[in-house]
Structure 1
Amino acid sequence: MNKNELVSAVAEKSELSRQDAGSAIDALFEVMQESLSKGDDIRLVGFGTFSVSHRAASKGRNPSTGAEVDIPARNVPRFTPGKALKDSVNKGK
Protein backbone atom coordinates (compact mmCIF):
# COMPACT_ATOMS: atom_id res chain seq x y z
CA MET A 1 0.00 0.00 0.00
CA ASN A 2 1.40 3.39 -0.92
CA LYS A 3 0.47 6.78 0.51
CA ASN A 4 -2.28 7.48 -2.06
CA GLU A 5 -3.92 4.12 -1.30
CA LEU A 6 -3.63 4.84 2.43
CA VAL A 7 -5.29 8.25 2.01
CA SER A 8 -8.12 6.66 0.00
CA ALA A 9 -8.67 3.92 2.59
CA VAL A 10 -8.68 6.38 5.50
CA ALA A 11 -11.05 8.72 3.64
CA GLU A 12 -13.45 5.84 2.98
CA LYS A 13 -13.37 4.46 6.54
CA SER A 14 -13.68 7.83 8.25
CA GLU A 15 -16.11 9.34 5.74
CA LEU A 16 -13.78 12.30 5.20
CA SER A 17 -12.86 13.85 1.87
CA ARG A 18 -9.61 12.63 0.32
CA GLN A 19 -8.14 16.10 0.89
CA ASP A 20 -9.04 16.09 4.61
CA ALA A 21 -7.74 12.54 5.06
CA GLY A 22 -4.51 13.46 3.27
CA SER A 23 -4.05 16.51 5.50
CA ALA A 24 -4.65 14.41 8.62
CA ILE A 25 -2.13 11.78 7.54
CA ASP A 26 0.46 14.42 6.64
CA ALA A 27 -0.04 16.06 10.05
CA LEU A 28 0.30 12.69 11.80
CA PHE A 29 3.57 11.91 10.00
CA GLU A 30 4.91 15.40 10.73
CA VAL A 31 4.12 15.17 14.45
CA MET A 32 5.65 11.69 14.66
CA GLN A 33 8.81 12.84 12.88
CA GLU A 34 9.18 15.88 15.16
CA SER A 35 8.65 13.77 18.27
CA LEU A 36 11.16 11.12 17.22
CA SER A 37 13.73 13.75 16.22
CA LYS A 38 13.56 15.07 19.81
CA GLY A 39 14.23 11.53 21.07
CA ASP A 40 10.72 10.92 22.41
CA ASP A 41 8.93 7.57 22.11
CA ILE A 42 5.48 7.22 20.56
CA ARG A 43 3.41 4.50 22.23
CA LEU A 44 0.18 3.45 20.51
CA VAL A 45 -1.47 0.83 22.73
CA GLY A 46 -2.37 -2.27 20.74
CA PHE A 47 -0.46 -1.09 17.66
CA GLY A 48 3.15 -0.64 18.74
CA THR A 49 5.92 1.69 19.83
CA PHE A 50 8.06 3.97 17.71
CA SER A 51 11.38 4.85 19.34
CA VAL A 52 14.87 6.08 18.56
CA SER A 53 17.94 3.99 19.30
CA HIS A 54 21.61 4.92 19.06
CA ARG A 55 23.86 2.95 16.76
CA ALA A 56 27.53 3.20 17.77
CA ALA A 57 30.30 4.00 15.33
CA SER A 58 31.85 0.95 13.69
CA LYS A 59 34.24 -0.16 10.98
CA GLY A 60 33.09 -1.61 7.69
CA ARG A 61 34.61 -2.68 4.39
CA ASN A 62 34.06 -1.37 0.90
CA PRO A 63 33.00 -4.53 -0.96
CA SER A 64 34.57 -3.50 -4.27
CA THR A 65 38.00 -2.43 -2.96
CA GLY A 66 38.21 -4.16 0.40
CA ALA A 67 39.29 -0.88 2.00
CA GLU A 68 38.29 -0.30 5.62
CA VAL A 69 35.65 2.42 6.06
CA ASP A 70 34.59 4.25 9.22
CA ILE A 71 30.82 4.15 9.76
CA PRO A 72 29.78 7.09 11.98
CA ALA A 73 27.50 6.82 15.01
CA ARG A 74 23.89 7.68 14.33
CA ASN A 75 20.37 7.57 15.69
CA VAL A 76 17.93 5.24 13.95
CA PRO A 77 14.14 4.97 14.22
CA ARG A 78 12.71 1.66 15.46
CA PHE A 79 9.26 0.14 15.56
CA THR A 80 8.20 -2.59 17.96
CA PRO A 81 4.78 -4.06 17.13
CA GLY A 82 2.20 -4.47 19.89
CA LYS A 83 0.46 -7.73 20.77
CA ALA A 84 -2.82 -6.82 19.04
CA LEU A 85 -0.99 -6.01 15.78
CA LYS A 86 1.01 -9.24 15.94
CA ASP A 87 -2.15 -11.23 16.61
CA SER A 88 -4.06 -9.64 13.72
CA VAL A 89 -1.19 -10.27 11.29
CA ASN A 90 -0.95 -13.92 12.35
CA LYS A 91 -4.71 -14.57 12.48
CA GLY A 92 -5.62 -17.73 10.60
CA LYS A 93 -2.07 -19.18 10.53
Structure 2
Amino acid sequence: MKKSEMVDHIAATHELTKAEASRVLDTVIGIIHTDLKKEGRCSIPNLGTFTVSKRAARTGRNPATGATLKIKASKVTRFKAAPALKEVAAKAKV
Protein backbone atom coordinates (compact mmCIF):
# COMPACT_ATOMS: atom_id res chain seq x y z
CA MET A 1 0.00 0.00 0.00
CA LYS A 2 1.31 3.43 -0.95
CA LYS A 3 1.24 6.43 1.37
CA SER A 4 -1.50 8.06 -0.70
CA GLU A 5 -3.62 4.92 -0.33
CA MET A 6 -3.05 4.96 3.44
CA VAL A 7 -4.11 8.61 3.57
CA ASP A 8 -7.26 7.83 1.57
CA HIS A 9 -8.12 4.93 3.90
CA ILE A 10 -7.54 6.98 7.07
CA ALA A 11 -9.62 9.86 5.67
CA ALA A 12 -12.52 7.58 4.71
CA THR A 13 -12.47 5.56 7.95
CA HIS A 14 -12.36 8.55 10.31
CA GLU A 15 -14.27 11.13 8.26
CA LEU A 16 -11.24 13.42 7.86
CA THR A 17 -10.04 15.46 4.94
CA LYS A 18 -7.09 14.03 3.04
CA ALA A 19 -4.92 16.87 4.37
CA GLU A 20 -5.83 16.03 7.97
CA ALA A 21 -5.27 12.31 7.38
CA SER A 22 -1.89 13.05 5.82
CA ARG A 23 -0.87 15.10 8.87
CA VAL A 24 -1.97 12.24 11.17
CA LEU A 25 0.12 9.71 9.22
CA ASP A 26 3.11 12.09 9.12
CA THR A 27 2.79 12.56 12.90
CA VAL A 28 2.87 8.81 13.53
CA ILE A 29 5.93 8.41 11.31
CA GLY A 30 7.55 11.40 13.07
CA ILE A 31 6.94 9.80 16.48
CA ILE A 32 8.68 6.63 15.31
CA HIS A 33 11.66 8.65 14.02
CA THR A 34 11.91 10.66 17.26
CA ASP A 35 11.75 7.57 19.48
CA LEU A 36 14.43 5.81 17.42
CA LYS A 37 16.71 8.85 17.68
CA LYS A 38 16.18 9.38 21.43
CA GLU A 39 15.67 5.89 22.83
CA GLY A 40 16.78 3.55 20.07
CA ARG A 41 13.42 1.77 19.99
CA CYS A 42 9.73 2.34 19.34
CA SER A 43 7.06 -0.20 20.20
CA ILE A 44 3.61 -0.09 18.63
CA PRO A 45 1.05 -2.49 20.17
CA ASN A 46 -0.30 -5.15 17.77
CA LEU A 47 2.21 -4.06 15.11
CA GLY A 48 5.71 -4.60 16.46
CA THR A 49 8.91 -3.01 17.67
CA PHE A 50 11.40 -0.92 15.73
CA THR A 51 14.94 -0.92 17.16
CA VAL A 52 18.30 0.54 16.20
CA SER A 53 21.17 -1.93 16.20
CA LYS A 54 24.83 -1.80 15.27
CA ARG A 55 26.13 -3.63 12.24
CA ALA A 56 29.84 -4.46 12.46
CA ALA A 57 32.34 -3.58 9.76
CA ARG A 58 32.78 -6.40 7.28
CA THR A 59 34.30 -7.39 3.97
CA GLY A 60 32.09 -7.63 0.93
CA ARG A 61 32.45 -8.30 -2.78
CA ASN A 62 31.54 -6.26 -5.82
CA PRO A 63 29.31 -8.66 -7.77
CA ALA A 64 30.29 -7.17 -11.13
CA THR A 65 34.08 -7.35 -10.71
CA GLY A 66 34.55 -9.75 -7.80
CA ALA A 67 36.81 -7.22 -6.06
CA THR A 68 36.74 -7.19 -2.25
CA LEU A 69 35.41 -4.11 -0.48
CA LYS A 70 35.57 -2.87 3.08
CA ILE A 71 32.08 -2.05 4.35
CA LYS A 72 32.01 0.40 7.27
CA ALA A 73 30.23 -0.27 10.53
CA SER A 74 26.77 1.28 10.62
CA LYS A 75 23.55 1.54 12.55
CA VAL A 76 20.45 -0.06 11.04
CA THR A 77 16.76 -0.13 11.86
CA ARG A 78 15.29 -3.53 12.64
CA PHE A 79 11.66 -4.53 13.00
CA LYS A 80 10.23 -7.40 15.03
CA ALA A 81 6.60 -8.16 14.30
CA ALA A 82 4.13 -8.51 17.18
CA PRO A 83 2.29 -11.83 17.57
CA ALA A 84 -0.94 -10.23 16.30
CA LEU A 85 0.80 -9.12 13.09
CA LYS A 86 2.36 -12.55 12.61
CA GLU A 87 -1.10 -14.07 12.91
CA VAL A 88 -2.46 -11.72 10.22
CA ALA A 89 0.48 -12.55 7.95
CA ALA A 90 -0.12 -16.28 8.38
CA LYS A 91 -3.67 -15.85 7.08
CA ALA A 92 -2.73 -13.52 4.19
CA LYS A 93 -3.38 -14.43 0.58
CA VAL A 94 -0.16 -14.55 -1.39
* Cα shift readout 1:32-68 (whole Å, capped 9, x = no counterpart): 1122133421111221111111110000111222221
Give the equivalent residue in structure 2 for 1:36. Answer: 36
* Cα shift readout 1:55-84 (whole Å, capped 9, x = no counterpart): 100001112222211000111111111111
- Off by >4 Å, runs of 4+ in structure 1: none
Tell me, what secondary structure is at the counterpart of 1:9?
Answer: helix
1:73 aligns with 2:77: no
Structure 2 unpaired stretches of 5+: none
Structure 1 unpaired stretches of 5+: none
RMSD in angstroms over aligned alpha carbons? 1.7
AA partner of residue 32 (structure 2): M
Q: How many residues get paired?
A: 93
Tell me, what secondary structure is at the counterpart of 2:76?
Answer: strand
Give the equivalent residue in structure 1 for 2:86. Answer: 86
Write the distance in 1 (CA, Å) between the matches of 2:84 and 2:57. Answer: 35
